[in-house]
Structure 1
Amino acid sequence: MKGHSHRRLYAIYLLLFTTTFTFLFSSCSTKEKKRFVIGVSQCSEDVWREKLNEELRIAALYYNNVKLDIKSANDDVKMQTQQIDAFVNEDVDLLIVAPGQVSISPAIDRAYEKGIPVIIFDRRTRSDKYTAYIGADNRKIGSDMGRFLASAGVSDVVELCGLSSSSPAIERADGFESIANGQNKINLVKKLYADWTEKGAYHVVDSMLSATPPHFTCIFAHNDRMAVGARKACQKHGLDISRIRFCGIDAMPEEGGGMQLISEGKLFASYTYPTRGDEVMQLAMNILTGKKYERENLLASALVTHENASVLLMQYDETVRQQSRLATLRSRVDKAASDFQTQRVYLIILVSFLILLIVACALAVNAYRTKALINRKLKEAVKRQEQLTKEIEDMTQRRLQFFTNVSHELRTPLTLIAGPTEQLLEDPTVKAPHRSMLEMIHRNTHLLLQLVGEILDLRKVQTNKAELVLNRFDLQKALTLWSEDFRTIAIRRKLTITVDTSTVKEEPIIIADRDKISHVFFNLMSNALKYTPKGGSINISLAYTNHTYTIKVSDTGKGVAKEELPRLFERFYQARGAEGGTGIGLSIVKAFVELHKGEVHGESEEGKGLTIVVSLPDSQPGYDPAKDVEKEKPTAEAGLIDDNYVTTSISAKESAERITNAEDFDHDRPLVLIIDDNEGMRSYLHSILKQKYNISEAANGKEGLEKARREVPKLVVCDVMMPVMDGLEFTRQLKADTATCHIPVILLTARSLTEQREEGYGTGADSYLTKPFSGSVLLARIDNLLRSRSMLRSIFSGSTEEKEEEKSLNTLDQTFIGRLREVMQKNMGDSEYSVERLGADVGLSRVQLYRKVKALTGQTPVELLRKARLEKAKKLLLKTERSVAEIAYEVGFTSPSYFNKCFKDEFGMSPGESR
């Protein structure tokens, strides 16, 4: 019943929760559109362009996802080039450009080539690299103005053009002159050039009138500003401006624009040149949203005279009023939408709160109804738990008893191993390498005896059979003396050990079990030595306050995470990144300290080391001076702490350098890399393999990976369980690197489950040996792997046999062979092409290239390159009529005689005989 009730409640809760958030997201979320940034580069600033900019801004209001960035170059080509380049660097989505001059083309080309859509507006460039053009037909404007003046009876005309390098000036002049040259009524008496500004036009006309001016009755300027400047220049020289007709182009309806000047009689005619910012913006959005658009877009234009200027001005005023009303309406709509959105959010919050309140009430009711049922079930669960706890305790005791019995049984064979080993070591006739193997047996026997002893000590503590044998001794002298036992190991590891007892003012006498305290200290030092890196330090301090001695052992290792500190002293617990060990040592420390009614805890910060703090009372009840017998001081040499036990993480760099530089190093023997964090295991493997192979060593996967990339060995023997980087990750990275993916890997592990072996093979391992293993089996496995590596006899013939050989390689090696073939074929004609350049082209160093090519093909890169050249030469001899010397030079040989010798050595006949 309880289960059904809970399921019903959870179903109700889930339904309400889903409804709430469905409503929330359906109400609040709106489909976000991509936000577009459009850059606008105007060539200058004038009334016409200000109107265009305002129309662009108004048109952008209809698109909520458009941001306009408008810049003006003030008729400066260099400035406009910089502005366009800046837009390109900002990665705008689209660029609208009104070119000042045709010389701006390179900057527009750069934007177009980078993939930014470009709209050319108003003026053109000399390049066709643009997405679309929109503007008026300037040639038509020029020709229409010519026809109008001809019909108006104008005879002698001065043409005032814009900048000679700008497209509107060129096109308007072409259109006007096409009419003037064909009409006898129009006489083009002078052609002047200005810079599109009123001031520039004034100076040009002023200069003309200051000299010997021609007779003219009309000045046709290419824009209204220049027409006004020309009129002012004529006024300055006292000409009767009522008899001169001034014409322009633009006819802007704003205050001071051409349309108003025509209405006032200051200009004779102009040509309305519409801005149409709305059409420009529509074209831009069609391009950005992938809609259909025309590449060439010509805007309608019309002649403006005194007869239609007033009507056009009235239409403009009405348009301005309508735009103002539209802007006001848009503002009101935006405010209404904002208010609606705010109210909707408030409504959603209120509905969500009500739904959550209903759910909370339902949960409260359900909790009240199920309380009695839970209490009843809880009592039954407590009863079952008590029974289960008893069963677990019984099972734990049986397991501990089993381990105790096994430990006792192990002592006899270990003693029988240790005794004869020591006798053999004392025999001077035993020489290397047998002596080194005996020393390895001796060290590991002591290690096993120590582990057995710790298990028995732990068992005694758990069964409350451990007793204190009390001694009265000087704790300061004892710590100093015990620390000296680690000096030899510390010197070899380049570690610093310091003992600080300066805070203890009185004679530091303590009543405790000397043997157990020494065991505590030696375990703490073993742990510190294991995790302190080369060049680090171990600090030991002793303090005395309130009848309590405090011993601190600090290292400069990697430390322990804060969440793991409380479990540091649990039996068999190992923190993340633990380097070997069983997890018994610190448990023994805690047990012996608590046996003395003391306390122990750890302090650590990751990356800065670990400090173990031991607090011991200065005396123990029941001390009998008559039973206080001085025991022989245990030392590291006596076996309490074995050198091998604390140095399992020592780097193999020194031993590897020793082996690499040894006198018996034979360059003709294959190089085998051994990776294992246990110094003893590396020594054992070295002793097995050194007769047939050159040996290199590494203490973890990271160090081994660096050596493999640097030395490119023939084969790697690697342990699976290692600190820093384990064997599986090492294999995975080795097989993913082009320089090393061909190297076979044998994994060694104590794990023998099928899924664990599958994991090893899944990383790319070539073989898997389970510890313990036979040395002869390892040698046979290495020999088989080295002999079974596929050797490509040729990578140039393209034969079926060669393709089958390539298929036997892994994907990376196949890619490498393909790349090598491609690079050699491409550069074989270069007689200066070297192995160094070949390595650079395929992404490997000279050493890596040599060893990888040798491993895959059995040939050196030099031999392979020469063979490629000879293969190509043979084909040329059979298929072309060129001379032998020409072919020799074409395939990269510097001398025909040397080519003849190499060809004959390769194919058994001279080039002439082959042809």
Structure 2
Amino acid sequence: MFSYPSYMGFVKRVLLWLLVAVTVTACHREKVKSTYTIGFSQCVGTDLWRKTMLDEMKMELSLHPGVKFLYSDAQNSSARQISQVRVMLRKGIDLLVISPNEAQPLTAVVEEAYNKGIPVIVIDRKTSSTLYTAYVGADNYQLGKMAGEYLGSTLKGDASVLEVMGLPGSSPAIERDRGFYDGIKKFSNIRIAAKVYGDWLKPNTQRQLHKIKTELPGITAVFAHNDVMASGVREVFNSLKLSPGLKIVGVDALPGPGGGLQKVSDKVIDASVLYPTGGKEAIVTAFRILNKEPFSRENILQSLIIDSANVQLMKMQWARVNSQQKDIERQQELIEEQQGIYNSQQVILNITVITLVLTIIFGGLAFFSLMENRKINKSLAAKNDEILSQRNQLIEMSVKAEAATEAKLNFFTNVSHEFRTPLTLILSPLQDMMANEKLVSLAGKNIRMIHQNSYRLLRLVNQLIDYRKIEYDKQIIKASENNIVAFVRDVVENFRMHAQKQNIHLSFSTTENDIRCWFDVNMLDKVFFNLIANAIKFNNERGKIKVTVTREDSNVVIQVQDTGVGMDAEELRQVFDQFYQAAHMPLNGSGIGLSLSREIVNLHHGNIQVESEKWKGSRFTVTLPLGETHLLPEEKSSQSGNWADLDERSKVFNSDLKKIPMLKERDPLSAPKEFSILIIEDNTDLLHYLEEKFSEYFEVYCAGNGADAISQAYEHVPDLIISDVVLPGASGKELSKGLKSDIRTSHIPIILLTAQGSVDQQISGINAMADLYITKPFNFDFLLANVRNLIKNRRILKDHFTSDISPLEKVSVSKSIDKKFINDFAGIVEQNLSNDKFSVDDICKLIGVSRIQLYRKVKALLGCSITDYILNRRLKKATYLLNNENLTIAEITYMVGFSNPNYFATVFKAKYDCTPTEYKRKAVS
């Protein structure tokens, strides 16, 4: 039965339960509101970069409502910053984020917080201790290097660069300077003309530039360590009306008014290296630490170059982000207002529950929740529409960019297609000429060289077109079921003859004779052609190549293993990259073959891997799935594969493997040539061609790289050197400077051959102290005429040095080293004419060269041996003394370095056809 007291008890219990629930809910809400307290101590907050850092933190914190954020600005004072941090520690913060003003003074307080168990995130600059939880900041060295590489890639011709650095002794300034130097040092056309310190401030920068304004007219580019100093540079140059084409690169790329993005957009500066503040990353790391989630202790922020090509996109992105942030802040304000209303109504509802029926209260709450959900849904729908609009804009921009790229690629492909017609018209007549025995007997080697290089060019064109089809035309395979074992075996057989000619053992093995696999016969053959051709090309004589085909689970595995030169770790990482070529490769290639092979294997839903060890060989593994379930319907072909023309298709790959006959060995009993030349060329065919042509007129030495060339130049001391500009190890220009600066080889004329034919490049070659700069392709008769002319001029110079009629006259600047050598050598001999113990070893010690080098140098410049030169000078001085001095024959004998008068008389008579006494008598009479 109904009982009023029991009902009242029930109501009291319900009221008590509701009161407890309300209290717990309120406490829980309060607890959620203040889950964490994060303190941020900044060394100075007035500049735009640090304001941006703080704004980024607040933007990220806006996604975590209820977090208490304590911020303090030390106003560039380390003492104030230490005091502010200790105040935060007393307030009981859960995590400290600190941007130190100075490393050493802030170390103690950071360690104090860390030792108390409070996580510490150091941002921008580190302290002198490793006692911190995490670090967030950019790599200043990398920023400088990126700026240097950007200037190096955009500046054409010789360029003089001004570097405007930050505060002297500050770590960012030092690291950016070091990175900038490393970034431009590989660009020989760029030099750092001047450096100034701007102390990170625009007025200081302008004052320093005015101090060196006489040096500014020659400046073509400027690297400033921040955008503020960069804009100051632009104002100074504009005020002085200097360098209208001046390129200025800064650092920071901050958004907003007055920031680097705006400066690049307004063309105040040409580019800026993004120096991320790390504010967002610091807050993200903080929450990972507080929530006990995995985090990185060292967070090095990435950067990029922002110039006219991408600045508008960056500004638009920042504007979008800023707009969305404002929307979030407005939403949070609305949520807070709604939360306040909600709390007030919750109290009212809780009171009403005591007096009204529970069902009415629950109905009201349900209705209120429904309305709130509708508001939220409307807000989300509006945001979704905005996001869709932004996405559509980005898609439209991408379509336009893709269309422009497609137009360029179509032009490139069409040009590549046009190469095939003239190549066909070259190869077809060549085939006819090679079938003519008379022509082959007369010019067989030259015809074979033309034929081989025509096929090499055809292979390059085919690879470029195939790569275009796969990469950009999205070509699909037409696979059919075939016996992969028979297919690979036939590919191997097409290379067996070439392997045997090079004494390379080529073997094929398989665990099964028939493995059915779906693949495109007309595409997959290019993969194995390329792998086997490379294995032969880069193998050693008497090396081994092993090709195996095995079934592993639901895959077929094809391996090509060789015992060739192999690759190191760096080459392995890049071997499948487009246009990559290892520096040690003995033959020229395109750098496309392996990249194309990987794309073809990927189209077959397989993969290709490589294992290699330097000088021990390489192993390429191609894995293809068996069956047809992995193929799309359009990737299958109803026609069975046919590789009957495999031999014809392999010609473009094995053409490089054919060895053109080298020079016939010269008869060792034949007379040696009067002059010798050294030819340096990394292209084997061109090297042998030049060797054959020049061997008719000169003794020829050959080298394929810079190191070997230097060794041979010192060993043989040739009469002339012909060198390519682009060489492995050291360029031809570096080689020329080195040889011309060495007293042992400074007299040797040098001719540089190159495909770099611009005026600036030719000037660069002459500045490298080369005697002549000839562009490829060149006429051999023209080259031969220049070689003969240089050797002839060298002989005239030699005759001038050895003349007894007149003293040595001043020679050109480029021959100053030779002039100094001759002066030193002649002076030493003259000073020691009376010394009968004087020897060649004494001269070597005084000049500082080896005996063999001294012999070769004197022979090349004076045309006689050292002994003959000393003897002639002694006899010449003896004739002077006989003609002009009243001395006895014995006295003259000892004065000119002879220890015995009889020997002196014998040598004198052999030279002048009379004895010293007779010669003196004739002079007196």
Bin the TM-score by the shorter chain.
0.5 to 0.7
Question: Cα gap change, 1:817/1:346 in structure 2, threshold over 3 Å: closer, same or farther?
Answer: closer
Aligned to 2:107: 349
Question: Cα gap change, 1:449/1:357 in structure 2, threshold over 3 Å: closer, same or farther?
Answer: closer
Write the letter of the residue equivalent to 1:692.
Y
Asked whether the equivalents of residues 578 and 595 of structure 2 are also in contact (C-alpha less than 8 Å), the reply is yes
Secondary structure, counterpart of 2:757 in structure 1: coil
Aligned to 1:190: none
Question: Cα gap change, 1:663/1:363 in structure 2, threshold over 3 Å: closer, same or farther?
Answer: closer
Aligned to 1:581: 589
1:833-884 per-residue CA deviation (whole Å, 9 max, x = no partner) reads 6668766775656664444323322334343233222233234435543333
Among 750, 758, 761, the residue aligned to 1:756: 761
Distance 1:22 1:539 in 2: 73
Distance 1:6 1:691 in 2: 71
Alignment of 1:542 with 2:549, yes or no, is yes
Question: Cα gap change, 1:559/1:630 in structure 2, threshold over 3 Å: closer, same or farther?
Answer: closer
Aligned to 2:860: 855
Write the letter of the residue equivalent to 1:449.
L
Write the letter of the residue equivalent to 2:642.
V
Aligned to 1:53: none
Distance 2:802 2:623 in 1: 76
Distance 1:633 1:878 in 2: 90
Write the letter of the residue equivalent to 1:5.
L
Alignment of 1:593 with 2:590, yes or no, is no
Aligned to 2:417: 408
1:245-304 per-residue CA deviation (whole Å, 9 max, x = no partner) reads xxxxxxxxxxxxxxxxxxxxxxxxxxxxxxxxxxxxxxxxxxxxxxxxxxxxxxxxxxxx
Write the letter of the residue equivalent to 2:647.
P
Asked whether the equivalents of residues 416 and 465 of structure 2 are also in contact (C-alpha less than 8 Å), the reply is yes
Question: Cα gap change, 1:533/1:386 in structure 2, threshold over 3 Å: closer, same or farther?
Answer: farther
Asked whether the equivalents of residues 446 and 642 of structure 1 are also in contact (C-alpha less than 8 Å), the reply is no
Aligned to 1:644: 656
Question: Cα gap change, 1:545/1:604 in structure 2, threshold over 3 Å: closer, same or farther?
Answer: same
Asked whether the equivalents of residues 433 and 687 of structure 1 are also in contact (C-alpha less than 8 Å), the reply is no
Between 694-703 and 442-451, report the one with greater CA deviation: 694-703
Question: Cα gap change, 1:867/1:358 in structure 2, threshold over 3 Å: closer, same or farther?
Answer: closer
Write the letter of the residue equivalent to 1:521.
F
Q: How does 1:614-633 map to 2 (within 5 A)?
A: 614-620=622-628, 627-633=640-646
Q: CA deviation at 1:672?
A: 1.8
Among 737, 742, 745, the residue aligned to 1:740: 745
Asked whether the equivalents of residues 467 and 596 of structure 2 are also in contact (C-alpha less than 8 Å), the reply is yes
Aligned to 2:175: none
Secondary structure, counterpart of 1:453 in structure 2: helix
Question: Cα gap change, 1:541/1:913 in structure 2, threshold over 3 Å: closer, same or farther?
Answer: farther
Distance 1:698 1:414 in 2: 31
Question: Cα gap change, 1:911/1:514 in structure 2, threshold over 3 Å: closer, same or farther?
Answer: farther
Alignment of 1:464 with 2:474, yes or no, is yes
Question: Cα gap change, 1:684/1:16 in structure 2, threshold over 3 Å: closer, same or farther?
Answer: farther
Q: How does 1:231-246 map to 2 (within 5 A)?
A: none
Asked whether the equivalents of residues 829 and 870 of structure 2 are also in contact (C-alpha less than 8 Å), the reply is yes
**Would you say how many aligned residue pairs link Structure 1 and Structure 2?**
580
Alignment of 1:5 with 2:10, yes or no, is no
Q: CA deviation at 1:802?
A: 0.7
Aligned to 1:730: 735
Alignment of 1:422 with 2:431, yes or no, is yes
Asked whether the equivalents of residues 563 and 618 of structure 2 are also in contact (C-alpha less than 8 Å), the reply is yes
Question: Cα gap change, 1:616/1:831 in structure 2, threshold over 3 Å: closer, same or farther?
Answer: farther
Question: Cα gap change, 1:845/1:666 in structure 2, threshold over 3 Å: closer, same or farther?
Answer: farther
Q: CA deviation at 1:16?
A: 7.3
Q: CA deviation at 1:441?
A: 1.0
Distance 2:920 2:441 in 1: 59
Asked whether the equivalents of residues 828 and 869 of structure 1 are also in contact (C-alpha less than 8 Å), the reply is yes
Distance 1:841 1:564 in 2: 48
Distance 1:22 1:876 in 2: 92
Q: CA deviation at 1:584?
A: 1.3
Write the letter of the residue equivalent to 1:460.
K
Aligned to 2:337: none
Question: Cα gap change, 1:843/1:633 in structure 2, threshold over 3 Å: closer, same or farther?
Answer: farther
Write the letter of the residue equivalent to 1:375.
V
Distance 2:913 2:77 in 1: 86
1:308-363 per-residue CA deviation (whole Å, 9 max, x = no partner) reads xxxxxxxxxxxxxxxxxxxxxxxxxxxxxxxxxxxxx9976325669998979998
Aligned to 1:83: none
Alignment of 1:527 with 2:530, yes or no, is no
Give TM-score scaled by structure 2 length.
0.54
Aligned to 2:810: 804
Distance 2:450 2:741 in 1: 38
Q: How does 1:286-435 map to 2 (within 5 A)?
A: 349-351=107-109, 375-376=321-322, 389-430=398-439, 434-435=443-444
Distance 1:562 1:537 in 2: 22
Asked whether the equivalents of residues 529 and 646 of structure 1 are also in contact (C-alpha less than 8 Å), the reply is no
Question: Cα gap change, 1:358/1:404 in structure 2, threshold over 3 Å: closer, same or farther?
Answer: closer
Question: Cα gap change, 1:441/1:872 in structure 2, threshold over 3 Å: closer, same or farther?
Answer: same
Question: Cα gap change, 1:841/1:760 in structure 2, threshold over 3 Å: closer, same or farther?
Answer: same
Among 473, 481, 491, the residue aligned to 2:483: 473
List gaps (5 residues or longer) in structure 2. Answer: 1-44, 56-70, 83-102, 114-119, 125-135, 137-276, 285-314, 325-386
Q: How does 1:88-237 map to 2 (within 5 A)?
A: none
Asked whether the equivalents of residues 443 and 642 of structure 1 are also in contact (C-alpha less than 8 Å), the reply is no
Write the letter of the residue equivalent to 1:524.
L
Aligned to 2:721: 716
Q: CA deviation at 1:585?
A: 0.7
Q: CA deviation at 1:665?
A: 6.2
Question: Cα gap change, 1:707/1:388 in structure 2, threshold over 3 Å: closer, same or farther?
Answer: farther
Q: CA deviation at 1:401?
A: 1.8
Q: CA deviation at 1:714?
A: 1.4
Asked whether the equivalents of residues 517 and 627 of structure 2 are also in contact (C-alpha less than 8 Å), the reply is yes
Secondary structure, counterpart of 1:430 in structure 2: helix
Q: CA deviation at 1:490?
A: 4.5
List gaps (5 residues or longer) in structure 1. Answer: 25-344, 649-653
When the two chains are superposed, the root-mean-square deviation of aligned CA atoms in Å is: 4.8
Question: Cα gap change, 1:679/1:577 in structure 2, threshold over 3 Å: closer, same or farther?
Answer: closer
Q: CA deviation at 1:674?
A: 1.6
1:580-609 per-residue CA deviation (whole Å, 9 max, x = no partner) reads 322211122012212222111333455655
Distance 1:843 1:487 in 2: 56
Q: CA deviation at 1:550?
A: 1.9
Secondary structure, counterpart of 1:641 in structure 2: helix
Distance 2:391 2:747 in 1: 60
Distance 2:734 2:560 in 1: 34
Asked whether the equivalents of residues 523 and 586 of structure 1 are also in contact (C-alpha less than 8 Å), the reply is yes
Distance 1:829 1:725 in 2: 47
Distance 1:679 1:447 in 2: 14
Alignment of 1:891 with 2:896, yes or no, is yes
Asked whether the equivalents of residues 680 and 709 of structure 2 are also in contact (C-alpha less than 8 Å), the reply is yes
Secondary structure, counterpart of 2:788 in structure 1: helix
